[in-house]
Amino acid sequence: MKPTILTCAVTGTFPTRAHNPALPVTPEEIANASIGAAKAGAAVCHIHVREPDTGKPSMKLEYYREVVERIRRSDTDLVINLTAGPGGRFIPSDDEPARAAPGTMLTTPEIRTEHIVELKPEICTLDLNTQWFGGGAVINSPRSIKIMAERMYAAGAKPELEIFNTGDMVLAHDLIADGTLRTPALFQIVTGIKYGLPSTPETMSLMKSMLPAGSAWAAFGAGRHSFTMLAQAYILGGHCRIGMEDTVHLSRGTPTPGNAALVEKAVRIIQDLGGKVASVAEARQILGLAPRAGGARRAT
């Protein structure tokens, strides 16, 4: 059985410090959370950034740059996975739906991938969903996806295709067929988002059955089913994800003290089920990623 790659999604956009005061917000906190998660067993860290003073989601290159530089200077060789999801949200005004209401972040694919082109992470997310999500419409048009994919590949980054619904998987097949997406592709199946895929074994099995042949894939559950969906992904042969983007609780009623504690629990679950968590070097080999310049900096 191949080793299981464990990704830690350290902060996301929706949780706040009102949900859990340990949520990392500043670039330094996000970088430190990523490094701590790597030392706890994660091979990949999925990274969003926030406004340090308010904790609100941000797209500023300067914040991404600080996080990435801090990680690259650290004693860990973890795989950096930067989000390209922000910039797809449209909130219609009540009295004039064609006009954007406050909170809209819909922007061009070039702006959404500026930090990818500049910082050249090993992996970056490419959302394929268009749906109602978190009080707004997330819009990822095929044209926008094609431009973003082209810029990601040119930067040397491997797109992680985020799948929220069955239609997203159909779109992925079409984009592979027309040459927009390269194979073998990397998929991340997202469950637990309202109006998206429910967190059930049946859903996970269905989505696995729809994957293009030869694809690498992972899956996770948002919210209270985070650890049950992690186990389900492992059982079905996928890779796994956990982190404070997905859950701020270590168990029911117990807030997690940080991302590392979530990773440690995930490692225990995978090992208790008979699996082996991939080292960073193994994760790079499985995903076809080149070793970072200078080689691995820690034993794993």
Residue with tokens 């989601």: 57
Gyration radius (Cα) of the chain, Å: 18
Mean pLDDT over residues 125-129, rounded? Answer: 98
φ/ψ of residue 40, rounded to 5:
-85, -10
Report the alpha-carbon distance of residue 110 to residue 116 in Å, rounded.
Answer: 10
User: Two tokens at 297?
Assistant: 């900096």
Of 26, 21, 94, 85, the closest CA to residue 59 belongs to 85
Alpha-carbon dihedral of residues 245, 249, 250, 253, nearest 10 degrees? -170
Report the alpha-carbon distance of residue 163 to residue 127 in Å, rounded.
Answer: 7
pLDDT score of 300 more than 80: no
In the chain the first and final C-alpha atoms are separated, in Å, by 18
pLDDT at 39: 97
User: Two tokens at 36?
Assistant: 């701590």
* Three-state DSSP class for residue 269: helix
77 neighbors 280 (Cβ within 8 angstroms): yes
pLDDT at 290: 83
pLDDT score of 298 more than 80: no
CA–chain centroid gap for 97, Å, is 30
pLDDT score of 294 more than 90: no
pLDDT tier, 299 (very low <50, low <70, confident <90, very high otherwise): very low
CA–chain centroid gap for 125, Å, is 6
Per-residue pLDDT reduced to its tens digit, 150-192: 999 999 999 999 999 999 999 999 999 999 999 999 999 999 9
pLDDT at 134: 86
Report the alpha-carbon distance of residue 163 to residue 208 in Å, rounded.
Answer: 11
* Three-state DSSP class for residue 209: helix
Mean pLDDT over residues 287-295, rounded? Answer: 76
Report the alpha-carbon distance of residue 50 to residue 24 in Å, rounded.
Answer: 9
Count CB atoms within 10 A of the CB of residue 252.
Answer: 6
Report the alpha-carbon distance of residue 277 to residue 2 in Å, rounded.
Answer: 9
Domains detected in the chain: 6-287 (3.20.20.70)
Per-residue pLDDT reduced to its tens digit, 218-257: 999 999 999 999 999 999 999 999 999 999 999 999 999 9
Report the alpha-carbon distance of residue 262 to residue 277 in Å, rounded.
Answer: 14
Facing residues of 68 across strands?
none
pLDDT score of 64 more than 70: yes
122 neighbors 81 (Cβ within 8 angstroms): yes
Of 11, 10, 77, the closest CA to residue 39 belongs to 77
